[in-house]
Amino acid sequence: MNSPTATRLVRHLACATVLAAVLSACGSGAGADGDAQDADPASVTGTLRVLTPSFGTSTAGKNALQQVIDTFHQTYPKVKVEADNTTFDTLGQKISTSLAAGQGYDVYVTGIGWIPPFASKGLYTDLSTFGFTKSTLSKDFNSALYDAVQYDGKIYGVPLIAGPKIVAYRKSMFEAAGLDPDKPPTNWAELRADAKKLVERDASGKLQRAGFDFWAGPGGLPQDYTAFAGSVGGAQYSAAGKPTFNDAKSVKAIGFMSDLINKDKVTDYGLVSSDSTALVLKGKAAMGFVGGYLDCSEKTGVGQDVCDDLGFFNITETRPAMYTGGQVASVGARSKLKAAAYTFVKVLSSQESETAMAKLNFAVPARNGATAEDPAGAFALKNLQHAAFQGGSTGYLETRNNFGPVIDEIVLGKKKAQEALDELAATEK
């Protein structure tokens, strides 16, 4: 989780070779896990290094992070917290650089799909060390996120937020086009037909309003692909971690997306607004992807009138699918403050902290019983059982670097879908 725009994709996982080498050196044989808890947390000293992309640099983000630190200090008052507030674009680079320098983090917040690549190299601590079991997971967190925090039968992460990219439509535009505003598309054929009725171009062919918006610039289509592939029962990887993104279902999904852009011309390739706001929210698209949190206020958000005009639906063909990213928190395997690190993770995964992070990341809390006051969040929480995730293999992050450009080549007609996807799959074999 994971973020919904193309800028939140991990495009540059630099130092991959160095990362693999240093991680191999910090596997299970490099040292024992240490004590599961401190006898007297109030007397523990040291510096807890935390790597997180969850809070950003806004005032609201800084305040939310400080609240987590203040709460942690109620238990560990003498432990200094050194928070590296990074972005997903630089997260992989930060991890590899820190390990190469022999200074791994105590707490890692990473994305959906990141657990297998790093857990397989020994970066994380098995959370059963602290009594966090499958029973704990199922009791406290949304079931849609269970697989995302496990590898090889062990739990290496605590779910924080789910970051869906859901589909919204403008009811008023449906009605003006002669469509029923209470009946959004229920399959691909209906989506295509409605998008063709809703698109508006001038006499020269210049797009005035998209019929369907992918909310993705160049390189940013993998999330949308995940939803379309999921809607025909496809997934990027098998349960055994083998690539399946080159199977018939995936080829069909990318082909449909390409047809919407190139044949039906319901939008233009790579179209995004100057401020990265989803075009549906700006009235520049009648249907399209938006984030899982929507600020309806007049001062800081899109306004109540826009929120009232929105309806939501899942991409559906043989089944509903909703792309979902997200974020999970882990304890570093080489941490010398593991009990304190786990306490910090528990604070991060509290209802209060998850709610704050969700608003900052267009997401929803991962905890059971979470609610959302905004319409997008309410729809996302209600539909998390339809989540379609990226990832599922130990080589996922390297493949993810190339996935966006490969889909672009297909959409732009530079390569045939089967050929391009087969080539990408071969890099993981």
What whole-number distance in Å separates Cα of residue 61 and Cα of residue 127? 27
Residues 351, 370 contacting (CB under 8 angstroms): yes
Q: What structural domains and CATH numbers belong to the chain?
A: 6-162+327-370 (3.40.190.10), 165-324 (3.40.190.10)
203 Cβ contact partners less than 8 Å away, ≥ 6 residues apart:
none
What whole-number distance in Å separates Cα of residue 384 and Cα of residue 362? 14
What whole-number distance in Å separates Cα of residue 373 and Cα of residue 377? 7
DSSP letter string, 171-238: HHHHHHTT--TT----SHHHHHHHHHHH-EE-TT--EEEBSSB----TT--HHHHHHHHHTTT--SB-
What whole-number distance in Å separates Cα of residue 349 and Cα of residue 54? 12
Single pTM value for the model: 0.89
Residue-wise pLDDT for 148-207, tens only, equals 999 999 999 999 999 999 999 999 999 999 999 999 999 999 999 999 999 999 999 999
> In terms of residues, how long is the chain?
429
Q: Residue type for 93, please?
A: Q
Report the interhelical angle of 338-348 vs 351-360 (nearest 10°): 70
* Closest by Cα among 220, 290, 167 to 6: 220
Report the interhelical angle of 338-348 vs 59-73 (nearest 10°): 130
Confidence of residue 30 (pLDDT cuts 50, 70, 90): very low
pLDDT of 34 above 80: no
What percentage of residues in the chain have a pLDDT greater than 70? 92
Residue-wise pLDDT for 85-108, tens only, equals 999 989 988 998 888 888 899 999
